[in-house]
Amino acid sequence: MSLNTDKINLLGMSQDMLEQFFAARDEKPFRARQILQWIYQRGVTDFDEMTDLSKKLRDRLKEEAEIVLPELQSRHDSKDGTVKWLFATDCGQAVETVFIPEPGRGTLCISSQVGCALDCAFCATGAQGFNRNLTKAEIIGQVFVANNELPPRDSGDPAVTNVVFMGMGEPLANYRNVIPVLKLLISDWSYGLSRRRVTISTSGIVPHVEKLGDECNVSLAVSLHAPNDDLRNVIVPINKLHPIADLLDACWTYAAKHANRFITFEYVMLRGVNDSIAHADELVGLLKNKPAKVNLIPFNPFPGTIFKRSSADTIQHFQNRLRQSGLVATTRKTRGADIDAACGQLAGKVSDRVRNRLGDKKIGDRNIKVVSA
């Protein structure tokens, strides 16, 4: 459905934004709460069905506003229960969203950008380049569609119990649109998720990590992937702007503001690149005695990549070393690989507008030596 540019799309507007919208029309603030409940708790997008609004207000809303969802292009179901949706944006582009069912919870992995400009060497999204930020409606619309498409839980609650910003894009690079969505996810008037069930995953835009800690208290995951600046500069190029020491300082400040909530550090296991015991020991040196836990991610290949997944034994030895040194360390189970929905595989359809890439992807003697063993 195409957006009418003469109307305001209410989808994605937080409570304070909606209150401003209604105040400009001489309506009371409680109208915002009514709209939130209709859209996010009852799944209603037709103003005529919002029966606790006066007919006069409903008619005015139909003239001046609309509730437009992102266009669902396709759905793919994995044999392990994982679901991937492709949402059309514009000019033939698309973003991907993934639902991962697990005992006791259902996690939705949502996208925040069409592509990504951060150019991480091991990520399919980064290989696609970057086109634009998603709007508030395009981001929260992924949650709306998933809850509408999936059967409710046995309790009658919506299928989605956890939301992670781990899809396409760097969420803190789209800060202006991500913050209102976070507020909707945790608001009792909309989805009402626990703050611990909403996770922002960032490659480390330090000023926005600090700002997020003041504005919205949700769980934080950091895509670390290397234990030193020399290596991280190459595989996570944002490190050239925000090196590890600065990033960790921001993380510990964030944790301290929220009762020492643990920060999750994501670490993709790349064969011969970052998976040695020496790397594990460096990682321990960074994180020991801090509110940190490590999530090891077996690398998921995509077309054109030069990287390979560390062996299962290597990953296990790496994890054991971290645990023996006192760190909390887990290994992520790969899900949805048969539909290219696993971590690092999301690519969508992106028309790249970036002329100067953030990272130098030349992997060789001058940067990284990839060991084939």
Query: Which amino acids are annotated catalytic?
Result: 96, 343
Residue whose C-alpha is closest to residue 203's, from 166, 175, 253: 166
Distance CA 314, CA 320 (A): 10
Residue 60 backbone phi and psi in degrees, to 5: -65, -40
Both tokens of residue 75? 């759905």
Please give the structure tokens belonging to residue 345: 């595989």
The full length of the chain comes to 373
Rounded alpha-carbon distances, angstroms, from residue 57 to 28, 31, 35, 50, 361: 12, 10, 12, 10, 55
Three-state SS at 177 = helix
| Residues 250, 252, 257, 258, CA torsion sign | positive
Radius of gyration of the chain (CA): 21
If we measure between CA atoms, which residue out of 219, 295, 226, 284 comes closest to residue 257? Answer: 219
Collapsed DSSP state (helix, strand, coil) of residue 247: helix
209 burial (CB, 10 Å; 0-12 / 13-18 / 19+) is: buried
Based on the number of CB atoms within 10 Å of its own CB, is 165 exposed (0-12), middle (13-18) or buried (19 or more)?
Answer: buried
DSSP 97-152: EEEEEETTEEEEE---EEE-SS--TT-HHHHH-EEEEPPHHHHHHHHHHHHHHSPP
Q: Are 348 and 94 in contact (CB under 8 A)?
A: yes
Cβ–Cβ < 8 Å for 311, 296: no
